[in-house]
A and B are shown apart, each in its own frame.
Chain A
Amino acid sequence: MSGAEMTSDPWLILLVIVPLLAAPVCVLLRSATGAWSVATAVAWSVFAISLKLLDTVMDQGVVRYRIGGWDAPWGIEYRLDSVGVFVVLIVSAIAAVILPYAKRSVEKEIRKDRIYLFYAMLLLCLTGLLGITVTGDAFNLFVFLEISSLSSYVLISLGTDRRALTAAFRYLIMGTLGATFYIIGVGLLYQTTGTLNIADLKTIMPAVIDTRTVHAALAFLTVGISLKLALFPLHMWLPNAYTFAPGAVTAFLASTATKVSAYILLRIIFTLFGDVDLFASFPLQPILITMALAAMFLASLSAIWQENVKRMMAYSSIAQIGYIVLGIAMATETGLTGGIIHMFNHALIKGSAFMAIGAVVFSTGAVTLTQMEGIGKRMPYTMAAFVIAGLGLIGVPLTPGFISKWQLVTAAMELNMWPLAALILLSSLLAVIYVWRVFEVAYLRPAPEGAPAAQEVPLSMLLPIWVMVLAALYFGSNATFTLNLAHTAALQLMGGL
């Protein structure tokens, strides 16, 4: 065996190949239950693989796979470091929890003869999201970005309301613009450096950073990815897409897709441009902090005024993306740790919240505040899960939201940005208001006349919700594991690979 093959870890390619091959299998099966079984088995094996990879990355630092045996700058290289493995873990864990939940929810929301196609799309989306995280090639990343995007447009358009169609169309337009901006950026970089390998680009970058071509590339890359990330003010596609998508899809996309986009942003700023002092030569920090703060306040304010709880949570997602970007923008060890750990924490919190709302929609059809009056007594377990998730959004101690915000506030104080620390706390108060609105309607108002006494969802849906909520509570009270992981990731980003 040659040296190249010895350092190649085949588990890395399996992470992408398994869901990619399983998608057409779902189509061939043409059976709803069959497709669901395949998808669930795949999600669980992918989760197992990512746990194994976590172990290897912790041990060796970086895991590589050379596609077709070609060496790095010429062939496409897959590489996974502690940042990537953290995101892979988020995506695969969320998929593994949501698929069991999806079975009943999807049976109710999607036409029976289309369900197998739904699971094929979900698997393709999973392929794309995992592919983005493991690839070390800038153009290959675009291909995976489009695989995940195209499948998520389809998933969103499968919602029961006809507005799901227009939401998917608008997301398609914005998403394609974003992805095309990204390849313009990659093209400009290729033109200047002659390479597409991200690690290779990183080493060449200091020599070419003072050219206008590279400046333009940086602008195209960041704006393109900010569109996919739904960073304020490029978030317009998100509220309707999350509101009208099927319940399981909203829960899956809200907790994975934006996190993966945040990962690309991290890669651009800290890996691609990692060897040049981007923050000294460009006003990147003030721009990102302003947008993050605008997202935190304006999106939270919008959330307060929403009648539709799904849309309320969608606006809350935009605000939470603000916290992630704020951590990235502070560009210090503590700040980055805060931003990275919030990717994980927010995935758990928002996953739980959207799964709980999906359960309410499943058994009562209620999605607006008025329809949800007194729902706390009729669906006690589901609503308890929602309330815990809501506390996580606020950042109450013992919830993971607290861990993230503590990190971010500490980071702001280390930088002597006291107003920023105050603003982080102030924006949390806005979350109190919208979470309270749901709580007040669900628990303090009487149920409407003639409503059934108990409408709790089946165990196959309740169990995944509580697995997610308990995981959130666990990582909220005992964050050593996640903090260590996020800290290692931050160090790796700051110090280079």
Chain B
Amino acid sequence: MFDWNDASSLLGLLNYWVAIVLMMAGFYTVIAQHNLIKKVVGLNIFQVAVFVFYISMGKVSGGSAPILKDGIELYSNPLPHVLILTAIVVGVATTALALALVVRINHSFGTIEEDEIQTIEHDEEDIA
């Protein structure tokens, strides 16, 4: 049950447990928090969980970095790591855009609490 190398044991699946716990924590934050900044933070945690999942997926036990060198026969798979570099860039762009929107929302509504914004929007609904 506590064997690192046994793929069916609790510890052998540790990377998946970490990814799932992080993912759900982030997802819950996105849904449950009313503060827009906290929502963005939740979204980030959710995305980072996927990064962790990808990065750990490429790791081969005992494998080395993918650099050709004499005497090394086992390499980790670099492709998921490279993919996730792209996903990180996308994540940074998303966060930047989300925060920019929050700044603009704060300017126009005077608040970043979703329930307060909804009250203001609901009042405007009757006008237009």
Tell me the A residues contacting B by CB distance below 8 Å.
139, 142-143, 146, 150, 153-154, 157, 161-163, 165-166, 168-169, 172-173, 176-177, 180, 183-184, 187, 190-191, 308, 367-368
Chain B: minimal CB distance from A215 (Å):
15
CB < 8 Å: which of A139, A165, A187, A308 contacts B57? Answer: A187
- Which of chain B's residues have a CB closer than 8 A to the CB of A161? 128
Given A163-B121, A166-B121, A168-B101, is A191 in contact with B57 using a C-beta cutoff of 8 Å? Answer: yes
CB < 8 Å: which of A153, A165, A173, A308 contacts B105? Answer: A165
State the CA gap A177–B91 with chains docked (Å). Answer: 11
Q: Could you pull out 8 A-B pairs where Cβ atoms are within 8 angstroms?
A: A139-B83, A146-B94, A165-B101, A165-B104, A176-B43, A176-B47, A308-B128, A368-B128
Indicate whether B70 reaches chain A with its CB closer than 8 angstroms: no
State the CA gap A146–B50 with chains docked (Å). Answer: 15
- Which of chain B's residues have a CB closer than 8 A to the CB of A143? 86, 90
Indicate whether B11 reaches chain A with its CB closer than 8 angstroms: no
Given A176-B47, A184-B53, A187-B53, is A165 in contact with B108 using a C-beta cutoff of 8 Å? Answer: yes
Chain A: minimal CB distance from B124 (Å):
7
Are B43 and A166 interface neighbours, CB within 8 A?
no
Are B80 and A187 interface neighbours, CB within 8 A?
yes
Chain B: minimal CB distance from A75 (Å):
12
State the CA gap A166–B34 with chains docked (Å). Answer: 13
- Which of chain B's residues have a CB closer than 8 A to the CB of A368? 128
Tell me the B residues contacting A by CB distance below 8 Å.
27, 30, 36, 39, 43, 46-47, 50, 53-54, 57, 79-80, 83, 86-87, 90, 93-94, 97-98, 101-102, 104-105, 108-109, 117, 121, 124, 128
State the CA gap A162–B27 with chains docked (Å). Answer: 27
Are B101 and A172 interface neighbours, CB within 8 A?
yes
State the CA gap A161–B117 with chains docked (Å). Answer: 14
- Which of chain A's residues have a CB closer than 8 A to the CB of B47? 176, 180
Are A153 and B97 interface neighbours, CB within 8 A?
yes
- Which of chain B's residues have a CB closer than 8 A to the CB of A176? 43, 47, 94
Interface of B is mostly: helix
State the CA gap A470–B90 with chains docked (Å). Answer: 40
Chain A: minimal CB distance from B63 (Å):
15
Indicate the member of B79, B109, B128 with the most A CB atoms within 10 Å.
Answer: B128
- Which of chain A's residues have a CB closer than 8 A to the CB of B117? 166
Given A166-B117, A173-B43, A176-B94, is A187 in contact with B54 using a C-beta cutoff of 8 Å? Answer: yes
Chain B: minimal CB distance from A154 (Å):
7
Are A172 and B94 interface neighbours, CB within 8 A?
yes
- Which of chain A's residues have a CB closer than 8 A to the CB of B101? 153, 157, 165, 168-169, 172
- Which of chain B's residues have a CB closer than 8 A to the CB of A173? 30, 39, 43, 98
State the CA gap A190–B57 with chains docked (Å). Answer: 9
Are A169 and B102 interface neighbours, CB within 8 A?
yes
Are A184 and B94 interface neighbours, CB within 8 A?
no
Are B50 and A187 interface neighbours, CB within 8 A?
yes
Are A157 and B104 interface neighbours, CB within 8 A?
yes
Are B36 and A169 interface neighbours, CB within 8 A?
yes
- Which of chain A's residues have a CB closer than 8 A to the CB of B43? 173, 176-177
